[in-house]
Structure 1
Amino acid sequence: MSLKSSIKIGLVSALVPIIAMAEVYKVKKGDTLEKIAKKYNISVEEIKKANNLKDEKKLKEGMKLNIPVKTSKEEKKKKHEVAEETYTVKKGDTLETIAKKYGLTVKEIMDYNSMKDEKIFAGDELKIPVKRSAKKKEEEATPQIDYSKCEVYTLKKGGTLKHVSKKTGVDLSILEKLNDIPSNQWLKAGSKVCIAPKKEKVEEKVSKTEDLENCTIIYNPTKKTSLDEIARKFHTSSRKLRNINNLPSSVKYVETGQKICVAREDILSSKNIVVEDKHETIKEETRVKEETQTKEVPLPKKVEPKVANGNNLGVKLDWPVKGKVVAPFQNDDQVRHLGIDIQTDCAAPVKASEDGKVIYAGDGIKAFGNLVVIRHNNGLTTVYGYLDSINVKEGRVVSKGEMIGTAGKLKNSDNCGIYFEVRKNVTPLDPMTVLE
């Protein structure tokens, strides 16, 4: 055999294993050796060597390339341990967002795809390694949570327990304990997270009239509200609310429609004028109904206050609005109207009658709608009800003549105006005796 024939046979023998372990790829429009190398997780040099290609510019559409496929024991072992997914890059994707999606690092994706930099473009295909052993281990470690016994938060986008903690305000350590997963584990969109054990509905303890004897307000929230928030609203403590309403210490919230009793003495210590009036007003409004049905709001024991004589106090207050009195002050056996109704223009500015501090601003007392109560240094307290809007917050110090809100609709009337009340300590005054 000639030397030339021997060399030829040797070359063929050397090439046969490579060709046998190769895949054929047909070049498409827009392909580059780098893109093809990425697709098959090999280097550009390996493709050049397998196809005896020296110049990349000779790459043409329709050309067939032999793609070497590694079949070494080490590569087989790697394939056995690692599963692979193909991800097509979308507009707006970055390697960081893709890495988070699959629980990998940017470096792992770059190394796996033989990338020199982080540049990616829409339409690129990336090979994503999915470690089977790790995946299996994760599945085994993932707890089977009975979400029917939890208050559940569903992730609209992907995220971690840290994101859920920030969004819901639930402490991160509690979330980790409830869900038994690490705080940095990436969760896909739609994943459910247990944020609290579902509370058993507490039977409404406040139902009998005798249980409500010391109530000043029966508060009925229109939405789920925390006991702490109710306590702040009525200047009492959540502990006292639990005691009065026979609620266990585990109860932190009050459900919609669950009535809560607020102690008479608590309200009297801070804003008694509002509460006492509320009950008496309700009594007048519901007197006819109560003759035929059980009282929904039990009333405290009636205590008739003496009416103070404003003429002897030497105090003069500014009118809160300009208008005429359409319902005067009256406190007798027939009528209990401890303030005056002043008719005025709709949305007319309502002003503080004297310097003082706002001790209540809100709509928690339905009898008066939007209500502001101001305490003054001289022992007087003024009340402004039926407001359309409130411009001040509790704790605010206001000056005489300062706008605190706007006039709304008078009760049971199409006319606008406000309800105005004055008290000296706990004793009601006829506002007409102190207004100038």
Structure 2
Amino acid sequence: MSDVELVTEPSQAKQTTDYIVVSGDTLWKIASKFNTTSSEIVTLNNLDPNKYLYVGQKLKVPASAAQPEQQAATTYSVVSGDTLWKIAQKFGVTTQAIVDANKLNPSAYLYVGQKLIIPSVAQPEQPTQTTYVVVSGDTLLKIAQKFAVTTQAIVDANKLVPTAYLYIGQKLIIPSVAQPEQPTQTTYVVVSGDSLWKIAQKFAVTTQAIVDANKLQPTAYLYIGQKLIIPSKQ
């Protein structure tokens, strides 16, 4: 009886691909992305299953026909006035996501020019913007009310100092999605005995609203025949 030599076929090495851990990942989530099991990822990487994954950690995962869609990340340079909260709002992510992606101390100060990884899938939605030219009597509050946005939104969009004075002809970016709603206006002709207070009472508006709409001095006298814009009808 002749000896038969048994040849064992070497087991084919499992094809793998590299995956970078992003904020919010767990073994279970990654396994689901790659249609595998948590235990297989643990084995491939000699992981301790009781230890947490960390952002930026490189893992070997089984290569599959359809690779998971990688989470898009963008790099953002900090500008004056930025806070973690403002940046998170701009990119539609949480402050914790930015903290995790950059291994930051949540209480640490940001500095101008600091580069941050924003672990967002999509780029921040750019709001519809309009340009407004400052006219006499304008204030941040008045412009904000006109466009139904906050004064802070205008300050941020234009990198203004909140206490800075506006000047006539200054162009401001208004980061509003919709155009400002135009108030219903009517024209009123002043008659004998009229006062700002009486006209305001007649049209159920404030005297300040009439002053602003007509760019009047609050102490100015009205004259018979004077035409006034009444900015809203109640």
TM-score (norm 1): 0.23
Which fold has the larger relative contact order, with Cα–Cα distance below 8 Å and residues 6 or more apart in sequence?
2
Bigger share in helix: 1
Bigger share in strand: 1
TM-score (norm 2): 0.37
